[in-house]
Amino acid sequence: MEEEDECEGHFKFENDPDEEGEEDEAARGTGPAVTLSNATTRDIFIAFDDTETVMRTNSRQKGVGIGAHVGGGANLKFNVGAANQEVHVVKGKEHTVPVHTSWSVPLVDPKVRGGRAGRLHDQIAVRLYYKSKGQKKEIGDGWVLAPNNGIIISEAKPRKFRVEQAVSKRWWKGFNAWLARGPPKADKHPHRNMEMFDTCDVCGVTIED
């Protein structure tokens, strides 16, 4: 009988008060994303559920009127009508995160601008998979993330997976995609104990700096 997979999840996806907001990200031209760091000995696949988006289908109707004062004179009156919006579904996609790499997947921006669609919900549902003997197997039972969350997946022993939340993004510190939020905080980088010019037996990377 084949041994069953194990999976531990050690996080609560909630935002810190100091966490970088989407507006700050947009101001720097980066935009919201979800990051997956793969510290296991195999490629990991992250599949996104379908995303609902909303798009403005016409510009707001504007009207200008002229009103008269009792004592004489006139004033202009501006009326702005409601804009029509349509909800669309963007088909979810699957992304491959190679062994010992960190991959950032951009998300649809929540803001509706001009003819662009905006993300309708702040929760992003994802599923994680790996391949064993040519068959794809799921890790855990799915995860719900928020924009700019990062997750780290490691493997304590074959098929015993652990999924943790990365520390929050802060503009004055940057973002370490391999630092688990904890508590306690912990560096999960698979090469953290390697020295200069060592070569990783798993991914073949040589440490050069």
The pLDDT confidence band at residue 147, using thresholds 50, 70 and 90, is confident
Q: d(Cα 176, Cα 200) in Å, to the nearest integer?
A: 20
The pLDDT confidence band at residue 24, using thresholds 50, 70 and 90, is very low
Q: Look at residue 193 and tell me if it is in a domain.
A: no
Q: For position 194, what pLDDT does the model report? A: 95
Q: Look at residue 203 and tell me if it is in a domain.
A: no
Q: Look at residue 159 and tell me if it is in a domain.
A: yes
Q: d(Cα 119, Cα 53) in Å, to the nearest integer?
A: 5
Report the domain count for the chain.
1
Q: How many CA atoms lie within 13 A of 40 on its CB side?
A: 27
Q: Which residue has the higher pLDDT, 30 or 24?
A: 30
85 neighbors 54 (Cβ within 8 angstroms): yes
Q: For position 197, what pLDDT does the model report? A: 94
Q: For position 34, what pLDDT does the model report? A: 92
Cβ partners under 8 Å of residue 7, min gap 6: 139, 140, 160, 161, 162, 163
Q: Look at residue 118 and tell me if it is in a domain.
A: yes
The pLDDT confidence band at residue 164, using thresholds 50, 70 and 90, is very high
Q: For position 122, what pLDDT does the model report? A: 82
Say if residue 66's pLDDT is above 60: no
Q: Which residue has the higher pLDDT, 12 or 70?
A: 70
CA nearest 101: which of 20, 45, 169, 182? 45
Query: What is the extent of the structural domain holding 25?
Result: 6-187
Strand ranges (E), 57-99: 62-68, 74-80, 85-90, 94-97
**pLDDT per residue over 71-115, tens digit each?**
555 555 555 555 677 888 888 899 999 999 999 998 877 776 666
